[in-house]
Structures are given as C-alpha cells and as structure tokens.
Structure 1
C-alpha cells in the first residue's frame, strides 16, 4: 500500500465491463455515488442501458456500450468510445465481465466449454488490460480492478475451466502490479466466494451444480453492493488483493499452509457435496 494516498475512485472516469448485472452493476452504481462518470459495458446492451439509468438515479452520468470482451477488436472499440466520451483516457478500468462454468471433471469437460470460459473470463481481462493500460501509463495515474474469484486459488474439483480462468486473472494482476510499480497506476484483483448474483444460472454450469450453488449463495452469499464497496475502498488504499469473505480467507490460508491436505479434503468433500450429483461416464475419477 506504500505510495498510494490519493483515492482514484472518487470522481473517476470509469469503465466497467459486464455492467449489466451482478457485481458489475453494483460497481457502476457505487462509482456513481462517488461522483464518477461511468461507461457501462455489457454484451447485452439493454441491460447496460438499465444500469445507466441506475447510475443517473444515483446522481451521475453514464453511457451504455455493447461489447463482447472475448473479441480484441470490440474491446479496442470500447476503449476508443471511452476516450471520445471522456475526452481522454479513463482513470479507472474494471474488468468484470465473466461467466460461470462447472459440473464436470477434467477429461469430461467439453473442449468447447474450456475455450468459451477462457475466452471470456481470461482473455476478456487480457483484452481490457492490453487496450486500456498504455494510455493510463502515459498519463501516470489511474487504476485497474480485475475480477477473479476465490476459485482461482481454491481449485475445487469439477470446476477446472473456471478455476484456470480465474487463476490466470490473478497471475495477470500480480504481474501487472510488478510492472506498474512506480508508474502511478495501481492494480487490484477481487477474489470473492459466494455472491448473490445470477452467475450460477449460466449455461455452462451443470443444472444440479447451478441449483445447489444458487441456494448456498442465497443463504451465505455476500451482496454485490457490499463486494463492490469493499473492493473500491481497497483499491483506494492500494491493496493488490481484495478477499472480502472469511471463508475465502480461510481457504487462502489453508492452501498456503497445507496444500496437499487442501487438495485431498477438497476431493473428499466433492464426493458428497450436493452439486456433485452428476457422475462422469467413467465414474470414479475424483
């Protein structure tokens, strides 16, 4: 946190991907409350426009832009639209767009699922950093928030594609923190567990897994509004990692202190968990 004393979220020129719902929408609204102008990007333009209405209701101004973050050219177009609307580069980029995936073990997860998950969850963040960072570095100020997940270090069974995508986002963020040291541009990576959003209804999540995860999130999940607020506060304080929930912090500690035991316990729990009801064709590969 050394060297960061000035908040970047207050009055920011911000762009949020995946702003049409969930954590992305919560980021946009929280930023509006902090006086930021917000470009609300989403693959669903109608949802992005709904978020802009909420941004305006919170007392700020917003712009809806349709963007599929899996495509480099589309993200480059988003950057250009932001520069035009802000009359300069944004001072805060939140790479939030992502999808859920899970329900099969490695070897039984369709390769198409791997490709789509990585293209959106990982390449979407890569595209955002690639296209937005140069101007921010040249300006010598600003911030990047990349949304990962505790799955990136928990590495739970039957979630390989999702786990790998989020671990990649974590590694990218850590690399950026080193490369951007001393430039005036800060980096934060968000790693939550259960958040009450619609991510569990994704088409790449097994139905049994989706229902169980959604029920757990309803009971113990944190609200997206609180996650957004904690993340932006952490970013202003110069924190690299924001791990908002106690269970995520416990998993983080367990993984680092006893990695082999962590993997074994995770495998055993997966055999009895309610979201593991669908067996792979060959059966016992857990």
Structure 2
C-alpha cells in the first residue's frame, strides 16, 4: 500500500480484494480496476461462468485473479468464500466489496408478491449482512482493511413501485453507517456506494410490470446512466480517502440533498412524478 496525499495509505493499491457479484456490471468493473491497481482479486458470482470471464478480463490488464461461485444469500457460502480468500491470499483480504444484487420493481406495496420481497431482501440485504458478518471480524482482527457496500440512491430516493428494492438498499445504507461507527478507530473503513443509473445488466430478464415504466427506465439509464468503470474508479478513490458516502452522479446528489432538506415535499413530488410518467 502506498501513501496518499490525504495521509495514511492508498488502501486500493496492490490490495488483496474479494468482490461479490463480480460476473458483470459494477462488480466486474471493481474487479478490473482493482487488478489495474496491482491487486489480487477473488471474483465471486452466483454465475461461475461469468466470474471466470471477469478473471480473464482482469488478467488481460495485468492483474491477478481467481474465480469462485458464491450465492451471497447463503451464510455458509459466504463463510466458505472468506476461507477461500485467506487460503489464496495467505492472509485476510484487504478489501471486501459486497456488491451482488438484483433489480426488481413495478408493483405497488400490497401487489408485490411476497416471494419477490424475500428474493430481493435475501440477495440485496442479507447478502451484504452476510458479507459484513463474516468479513468484518476478520478485518478488525487484522487491524486494517476496507469494506465497500453497494447500496443505491434508491436507499434514500424511495421511488414508488420499487418498495422491495428501496427497502433492501436502505438497509444496506443503514448497515454501512452502523458498521462504520463500530469500526471507527480500528484501522478498518467502510464505504457505501449510492449511484443512480449505471449501465449494467441488473434488469436483464426483469419485468417491471408496466410497459410505460419499463420504457421510462430504459430511457433514464440511456440518458443519465454512467459506465460502471467510472463508478468503480470513483468509489475506490473514495476508499483511499476513507470516505463513507459515495454519491457519484449529479442527479443522485440532488435527490440526496432534496430528501435531507425537504423530506415531505420531496416524497409528495416523487409520487406525483411517478403518476405523470405512467
């Protein structure tokens, strides 16, 4: 690790890292960028084939990587992932990126099927809980390291017809803030990533239940979505600075500030806008 201009070390330089959901999107971008920074990366994904493709991309840029399958909704599999990392690295990982997640939405509360609630929370929230539960004690014992949790602007944006996704990401944000408080002074930092549109495949094969909403979502990603590589770079730079919140896009910052300064007017406006879009 190298010194940075803010004091301390550049945590992301030559770091041994674990990335969940590394088979595509932001997770793949994190893995590639960490490899570019000279690190060794364990690329885990529920789709082992996609994880293997990411390893090939990491090694093509000169990095070192290892692929493994992992369903983050399973505590046993996340524990096995941490054990595999220690065996491959010969020590505890320096950086853990809890990134695996799925996108769902389109129905009102009460109409959203309960199995969908369970699926979204099992992966998006419990997956991150499992990652923090398993890795945080190991990093605390090592006395250094960083945990990056991929949340979303949905954590505070609370858009209608996205309840399960919003709740899962709000939970990730609250978990990250609590963990950061608990790890203060231990040498371990926590960073919560809260983007809006990112050009990934998170909605691949997903129906939002309303053609109008689906078309609007596609346009929004096309107009405002940022490539995942830039999001990953900005987040890792924030990790080097010891930054808790990463809100990378202008619209995400506007939502963040509006919700904090004018919470009730913001909520009413969000509801009215959703009706206009439909």
Using the TM superposition, give the Cα deviation of residue 202 of structure 1 relative to its aligned residue in structure 2, in angstroms.
Answer: 4.5
Question: Deviation digits for residues 80-125 of structure 1, max 9, x if unmatched?
Answer: 1111111111010000000001001111111001000000000000
Q: Which runs of 5+ in 2 are unaligned?
A: 1-5
Within 5 Å, give how 1:33-72 maps onto structure 2.
Answer: 33-72=36-75
1:255 aligned residue (241, 247, 259): 259
1:221 aligns with 2:217: no
The aligned counterpart of 2:234 is: 230
Using the TM superposition, give the Cα deviation of residue 4 of structure 1 relative to its aligned residue in structure 2, in angstroms.
Answer: 5.8
Whether the aligned pair in 1 keeps the contact of 2:207 and 2:214 (CA below 8 Å) is no
Counterpart-to-counterpart distance in 1, 2:7 and 2:101: 29
Whether the aligned pair in 1 keeps the contact of 2:20 and 2:99 (CA below 8 Å) is yes
Give TM-score scaled by structure 2 length.
0.95
Change (3 A) 1:123 1:34: same
Using the TM superposition, give the Cα deviation of residue 207 of structure 1 relative to its aligned residue in structure 2, in angstroms.
Answer: 5.8
The aligned counterpart of 2:86 is: 83
Question: Deviation digits for residues 157-197 of structure 1, max 9, x if unmatched?
Answer: 00000000000000000001100000000000000000011
1:23 aligns with 2:35: no
Whether the aligned pair in 2 keeps the contact of 1:177 and 1:186 (CA below 8 Å) is yes
The aligned counterpart of 1:131 is: 134
Counterpart-to-counterpart distance in 1, 2:209 and 2:152: 19
The aligned counterpart of 2:3 is: none
Counterpart-to-counterpart distance in 2, 1:4 and 1:31: 21
1:245 aligns with 2:267: no
The aligned counterpart of 1:197 is: 200
The aligned counterpart of 1:271 is: 275
Counterpart-to-counterpart distance in 1, 2:73 and 2:218: 26
Counterpart-to-counterpart distance in 2, 1:48 and 1:201: 17
Counterpart-to-counterpart distance in 1, 2:119 and 2:214: 18
Counterpart-to-counterpart distance in 2, 1:211 and 1:201: 14
Using the TM superposition, give the Cα deviation of residue 204 of structure 1 relative to its aligned residue in structure 2, in angstroms.
Answer: 5.8
1:120 aligned residue (113, 120, 123): 123
Using the TM superposition, give the Cα deviation of residue 220 of structure 1 relative to its aligned residue in structure 2, in angstroms.
Answer: 1.5
Greater Cα shift, 216-225 or 176-185: 216-225
The aligned counterpart of 1:284 is: none
Counterpart-to-counterpart distance in 1, 2:90 and 2:224: 42
Q: Which runs of 5+ in 1 are unaligned?
A: 277-286
Whether the aligned pair in 2 keeps the contact of 1:92 and 1:144 (CA below 8 Å) is yes
Whether the aligned pair in 2 keeps the contact of 1:200 and 1:210 (CA below 8 Å) is no
Counterpart-to-counterpart distance in 2, 1:8 and 1:95: 16
The aligned counterpart of 2:190 is: 187
CA RMSD between the two structures? 1.2
- Partner of 1:218, secondary structure, is helix
Greater Cα shift, 199-208 or 43-52: 199-208
Question: Deviation digits for residues 112-154 of structure 1, max 9, x if unmatched?
Answer: 0100000000000000011111111011000000000000001
- Residues paired across the two proteins, number: 272
Whether the aligned pair in 2 keeps the contact of 1:200 and 1:214 (CA below 8 Å) is no
